Amino acid sequence: MNALDKEEFRIKLEEINKLVQDKDYKGAMNIVDSIDWRRVKNVRTLCVVGEIYAANGRYEDSKEIFLLAYHKASIGKNILYRLIEISLRMDDINEAEEFFEEYKQVASNDSTQYILQYKIARAKNSSLNEQIKEWVLNDDYSWNTLYVYFKYRFFDTQEVPFIDTMEVSVKSPHTLHVEVYEKGLLGYLYMDSLGQNVYFDKDGFVVEMSTDVIEGVPQITGLTCGDAVLYEKLDVSGKDTLKDLLAVTQTLKKYNLVPDTINYDDQGNVTLQYGTITVNLGQATSLTEKVVRMEKIMPNLEGLTGILHLEDWTEDTTDITFEKTA
């Protein structure tokens, strides 16, 4: 790495930021490697560099830069969060747990600690019961049954992205019964960069990443997705794309019309695939009205092959046609 004067550094930094905006992390890394970051004091800049290394799979370098940033930061909560994630990517669970203990001290009232605790438990391959026990019995007063009961009796599960609802009841003075309901899966995207299917819930959070194809969950195609991070919002390109995607998947699930695939074209038109039946839904406008009509029509198309055209339907035109293709 070379020492640069201020003007050279400014120019290189502008190039790096532009490449990051274009999601060209490999190109950005080529410039990053030419700079001695130990001389840089700006915490935000160091964090950007750490993310560039992480995006290129150079986790050891990423950790080194994030540690530089952490020691220069006045409040390092977010940096600790990334250090925990980087350690888990490196399969260094012990180090992740050490960072987590520090994280709990600087962010004792932050609900993100539940996410990190869950991530660490999954990395340790803990059973679901062990994960719940570790999550619920998480402080010095957890030996007291009534304390734990009242602590979680009115707990806002919205603070934890992967939990839908939680019920806690006292079975005896020494026994608690805890039922945790995880959020359901609405769809998944296959990401070439990860070689995995990325599953998301009704709020757009990534709740599962695996090579498995889960039956009854539609595949989403035609969308561009950035880096996927477990229990964080799905990074889908386009201003309202995620909002529209969630509206489509939730509405189809509500009316028991979950398709095999949901495809988006360049203009945002939606096409659904049900075996041999293709449904051209068009734009996600008048969505509920279109799906209500689908619900009535689809049973009559059983055994047929063709395209159901709903893309031109409006309250004024009411045009719906079925085009047989075989």
CB of 143 closer than 8 Å to CB of 151 = no
CB of 293 closer than 8 Å to CB of 322 = no
Look at residue 231 in the predicted model and tell me its pLDDT: 75
Q: Give the full edge-to-edge strand order of the sheet including 187-191.
A: 206-210, 196-200, 187-191, 219-221, 261-264, 270-274, 277-282, 306-309, 321-324
Q: What's the pLDDT band for 134 if we cut at 50, 70, 90?
A: low
Residue 23: closest CA among 279, 273, 235: 235
Residue 157 pLDDT more than 60? no
Residue 146 CA to residue 156 CA, distance in Å, equals 18
Domains of the chain from N-terminus onward: 6-123 (1.25.40.10), 128-182 (no CATH), 187-324 (3.40.50)
Q: Which tens digit of pLDDT belongs to each residue from 198-226?
A: 999 988 988 887 777 888 999 999 998 87
Residue 60 pLDDT more than 80? yes
